[in-house]
Amino acid sequence: MSNYDVHLFTDGACSGNPGPGGWAFILRHLPTGKEVEKSGASTLTTNNRMELEAVVQGLKALNRACRVELFTDSTYVGKGISEWMTKWKRNNWKRKDGNRWVPVKNDDLWQQLDELISMHDIKYTKVLGHSGHPENERCDELAVAAYQALH
């Protein structure tokens, strides 16, 4: 049994990069088994942005502090949370590009995520995308359907 109260499964999808994109999450409250699914889309976005948006929206859906295990196939999100964010914050959401400082891509979403993470106890778990993981496959279906509905 997990030490976490909530499982958050997320995925983002994009048709073209940039292009129309969608995000989706499944929130599962382990003690009760209650689940919530949600998705959304943007007309012109990137895959990384949609991966981040899924996590932000999933955490925003929680109405109290929780112990959350985040399941994502996004290395970008996972490394951002576990490795990069501390340094980006310290450098005012900038990163080195050669010999100059540039804004972190998607800094608006990273800053929202940083604020949301501070409210919860989060554990990141990497899943393999398109490998038969049921919740990841469902999130992918929802994200793709969300951006396809834009047409």
Catalytic member of 5, 7, 11, 80 = 11
Catalytic member of 5, 53, 69, 73 = 73
Catalytic site residue 114?
A: no
Amino acid, res. 101? W
Catalytic member of 5, 53, 135, 140 = 140
Catalytic site residue 5?
A: no
Cα–Cα distance, 129 to 67 (Å, whole number): 24
Catalytic site residue 73?
A: yes
Q: Are 10 and 139 in contact (CB under 8 A)?
A: yes
Cα–Cα distance, 10 to 26 (Å, whole number): 7
Catalytic site residue 133?
A: no
Catalytic site residue 35?
A: no
Catalytic member of 35, 108, 115, 130 = 130
Catalytic member of 5, 51, 69, 135 = 51
Catalytic site residue 108?
A: no
The CA-based dihedral angle spanning residues 73, 37, 86, 50, taken in that order and rounded to the nearest 10 degrees:
60
Q: Which residues are catalytic?
A: 11-12, 51, 73, 130, 140
